[in-house]
A and B are shown apart, each in its own frame.
Chain A
């Protein structure tokens, strides 16, 4: 996975705001039974926050994290409470969250604003500013660096051939190019670039971004594409070739913020303009990747003399605790919802007929939607957005099928003589269901709930994709940093949790399945 952002495709990782400010709006969704109230209270207590700090979002790559942390520090230095939540999503998702008030601030790049958000390629700063203003969004002056595509080479190789600009490459068709697949395909990538500079190298290979760096270091390739503030440029001591024909668009970093912010807060953000140049950003990115600690990198920006107490890095233990707690909240609440709603639907489905088939059909179709796609479908809906709520609803939908199906089949599998005996005893339909049929189907129903629980524990790692946190956070962060240790920090607890849940449900079987059925 790339260490750096892809600007156009859906690879933008975003951080977002987890607390829902108005949990009462959850009501409509949850009016599906008596258990709904309980769940509502759970939801509200899990996600409401007492104060209203400024919420800073960030795209999920190192630089965006660091910039968000810098904004947070800057606001806090001005005495304003601020929160930085980690997560991810597409640019459009972050943008919508900003417009909708889900977040208050996030770092963005001018090129992305012009091309993706406003759909006005080549718009001037003034045009951008007024177009944003019309939507209630403010923009700071640029932070002082341009994070655009660039071509990089090993310093010794470039010096040897006296290469300083991209134009200089024209005279050296023997150089081997190793380019990311994305760069090869982009409309502002290799094809128009090579046409503009009239480059026709003898050898071009498509290579993964991270692997490309080591190939460059070993001399297997000579030239590769990179982002101009990529930490690896500093780490490997690479040279950036100057874009002398000004081919690449400008991607100057700025903060976008809601105009409803206090002027004091806007000031604190604007104070950051022109304070970070490329070299500094590279160092900060490098620091963040080396320490795996974005807050520490941000701290470096403000100078090491500053007291560090409120910003001491979180210990692994407390991080794990936070991730696991959130993970269990996500999986647990969604499971509870799936049980409360899945069980009645399973009972209805067990009666067969067109309604039963429809219920099982719909539950089955939901299951076939890839989880990422389901999240992507839910996020733009007004009620959902990027929140834990969305993650819970997605997990709930995934949890439905096993419960509905197992409830239905468990009830259908009850032998006819037992069914008829219950009827002949003169029990009402409700009594038959509660006293006879559900207990008889308990093994199957619990099996379905167990399957749902284990699926939910696994799938809940994807909640981090929409910033809902949980053990997916280190997994995605680790993928992003190409850092196996961080991935394992999330993956191992997630696997252990799944095992634990399995084990607990086996225990629960002994309690809930009547002994007479276990003989």
Chain B
């Protein structure tokens, strides 16, 4: 089995709402995969299932051949990086301490941690004078860079990005998208990114998974999706995004 993440017949509902239905999905250990779809289609829930923030009602999820369950999740989490829309930086810690927190608690030594922080600052083009600032003293774009660095601190096997740039203004978003793509290529990082923005998905990922109402509608490259939409929903979703760009 070559897949890094494997969803097998996973179902998850919140109350009466199905977030994920009978989901079968494999994420290979290569490049960037984008999960795309309208709000509430269940794409974020897929990431949350991997991180163990929610657990499936039915089916199972494997990470690197190991079933994700309460006994294994703590170890698996250390092999993941997770970035959310608002960054999730801890406001009481400076950027540096946000980065160092996890490594320190996991027993890494100080020099090693500082070295890694310096590396990541360079990689993410984070201004060095910002590293000792508190999150509230940073701009939205800088916060997301710190958040990305924090996720990369332990060189995760899988980077999970949940709408990482949705709250940023267009110019900042564009820069970050470019930098992210460059960073991931440089690190040969496996990434699963959730977005509702088709141009973003198209720019970042070769592999796009279109999801609606908890089910996979179509999977393929942006060219596939444009040329051969699997159904009416796929066509509408793609056209809507295209016209938004035109307007």
The residues of A with any CB-CB pair to B shorter than 8 Å are 417-418, 420-428, 431, 435-436, 439-440, 442, 514-517, 519
Contacts and interface: CB of A to CB of B under 8 A. Distances in A.
Contacts of A440: 90-92
Interface in B99-135: 101-102, 105-106, 134-135
B102 A425 contact: yes
Contact of B77 (A425, A436, A514, A516): A425
Given A439-B92, A440-B90, A425 B137 contact: no
A422 B150 CA distance: 12
B86 interface: yes
Contact of A515 (B53, B82, B101, B134): B134
B51 interface: yes
30 contacts: A417-B84, A417-B85, A417-B86, A418-B91, A420-B51, A421-B88, A421-B89, A421-B90, A422-B90, A423-B51, A423-B53, A423-B77, A424-B53, A424-B80, A424-B88, A425-B77, A425-B150, A426-B77, A426-B80, A426-B102, A426-B106, A427-B101, A427-B105, A439-B92, A440-B90, A442-B92, A514-B93, A515-B134, A517-B92, A519-B134
B88 A516 contact: no
B94 interface: yes
Nearest to B97: A516
Given A515-B134, A519-B136, A425 B101 contact: yes
A420 B105 contact: no
B181 interface: no
Given A418-B90, A422-B90, A426-B74, 8 more contacts: A420-B84, A421-B89, A423-B52, A424-B51, A424-B77, A425-B77, A514-B93, A516-B91
B78 interface: yes
A369 B108 CA distance: 52
Contacts of A519: 134, 136-137
A128 to B, nearest CB: 69
Contacts of B134: 515-516, 519
Contacts of A418: 88, 90-91
Contacts of A424: 51, 53, 77, 80, 82, 88
The prevalent SS among residues of A at the interface is: helix
Chain B interface size band reads 20 to 34
Nearest to A443: B92
B93 A516 contact: yes
B94 to A, nearest CB: 7
Counting chain A CB atoms within 10 Å of each CB, the highest count among B74, B90, B106, B137 belongs to B90
A427 B102 contact: yes
Nearest to A426: B77
Contacts of B48: 420
Nearest to A439: B92
A431 B74 CA distance: 13
Contacts of B53: 420, 423-424
Contacts of B137: 519
A515 B92 CA distance: 7
Contacts of A422: 90
Nearest to B84: A417
A420 B88 contact: yes
A514 B102 contact: no
Please give me the 5 A-B residue pairs with the lowest Cβ-Cβ distance, nearest first: A421-B88, A426-B77, A514-B92, A516-B134, A424-B82
A417 B135 CA distance: 14
A421 B51 CA distance: 10
Given A420-B53, A420-B84, A423-B51, A428 B74 contact: yes
Of A428, A435, A436, chain B has the most CB atoms within 10 Å of the CB of A435
A436 B90 contact: yes
A519 B52 CA distance: 33
Contacts of B106: 426
Contact of B105 (A421, A431, A514, A516): A431
A243 B55 CA distance: 88
Interface in B180-204: none
B52 to A, nearest CB: 8
Nearest to B88: A421
Nearest to A516: B134
B88 A435 contact: no
A71 to B, nearest CB: 61
B77 to A, nearest CB: 4
Nearest to B106: A426
A102 to B, nearest CB: 49
Contacts of B150: 425
A424 B89 CA distance: 12
A511 to B, nearest CB: 14
A371 to B, nearest CB: 37
Nearest to B47: A424
A67 to B, nearest CB: 61
A418 B90 CA distance: 7
Contacts of B93: 514, 516
A427 B88 CA distance: 14
A513 B100 CA distance: 20
B77 A435 contact: no
Contacts of B89: 421
A435 B106 CA distance: 13
Interface string B28-72: 000000000000000000001001110000000000000000000
A427 B106 CA distance: 9
A145 to B, nearest CB: 70
A517 B89 CA distance: 12
A469 B60 CA distance: 67
Contacts of B101: 425, 427, 435
A427 to B, nearest CB: 6
Nearest to B52: A423
A151 to B, nearest CB: 72
A421 B91 contact: no
A424 B161 CA distance: 12
Contact of A426 (B78, B85, B88, B90): B78
Contacts of A436: 90
A426 B105 CA distance: 10
Nearest to B135: A516
A359 B228 CA distance: 60
A282 B136 CA distance: 73
Given A428-B74, A431-B105, A421 B94 contact: no
Of B52, B93, B137, most A-chain CB atoms within 10 Å: B93
User: Which of A428, A439, A514 counts the most chain B CB atoms within 10 A?
Assistant: A514
Contacts of B51: 420, 423-424
B151 to A, nearest CB: 9
